[in-house]
Amino acid sequence: MKHLIILLSTVLSLFTACAQNTEKEESSQQYKVEKSEEEWKDQLTDIEYDVLRNEGTEPAFSGKYVEWKKSGTFTCKACGNALFESDTKFKSGTGWPSFYDYIEGNVLEKPDNSYGWNRTEVECAKCGSHLGHVFEDGPKPTGLRYCINSVSLGFKAKK
Ligand SMILES: [Zn+2]
């Protein structure tokens, strides 16, 4: 009986150890660029911080890039990662800059069930900053609409 109890408590403590490890791994997703909340606040304006780091949304038709027609590359406002090419931008009429595709490997998609909606969040693959959402009502060839906040973006003109 005594042996059984020792065996049981050993098994139990092993289980607890495993559970703790898994939790740790899940909570610390690895991004190439990681900063503390204070560092982000110093670097970004209030609205940039609210959208990029707090998953906020800028008011429709308020953003700099809604009607933007220049040729070049849209980058992450937080870390400079190249995200969208201007030739994938299209006029969606939604009030936010919209793209039908992103630059391969530089954007991550994540399920977002906040506010009771089943949406897919779009974030920068390099720093994890929030960019916007993706919807399945976009134009060809992808049929996708990446609905992105202007304040999440920077722009590099084509030379
Ligand atoms: Zn980034």
- 22 CA distance to ligand 1 middle (Å): 26
CA distance 157 to 73: 6
Please identify which of the residues 76, 79, 127, 147 carries the catalytic annotation.
147
CA distance 85 to 146: 12
- 75 CA distance to ligand 1 middle (Å): 8
- At the topology level, CATH places domain 37-157 in 2.170.150
Task: Reply yes or no on whether 147 is catalytic.
Answer: yes
- 131 CA distance to ligand 1 middle (Å): 9
Model confidence at 36: pLDDT above 70: yes
- 4 CA distance to ligand 1 middle (Å): 53
Residue 7: predicted pLDDT: 59
Q: Where are the domains of the chain?
A: 37-157
Residue 115: predicted pLDDT: 87
Residue 26: predicted pLDDT: 46
CA distance 4 to 39: 53
Predicted confidence (pLDDT) per residue in 59-117, tens digit = 999 999 999 999 999 999 999 999 999 999 999 999 999 999 999 999 999 999 988 98
Model confidence at 24: pLDDT above 50: no
- Cα torsion at 133, 136, 141, 147 (round to 10°)? -20
CA distance 146 to 117: 17
- 88 CA distance to ligand 1 middle (Å): 19
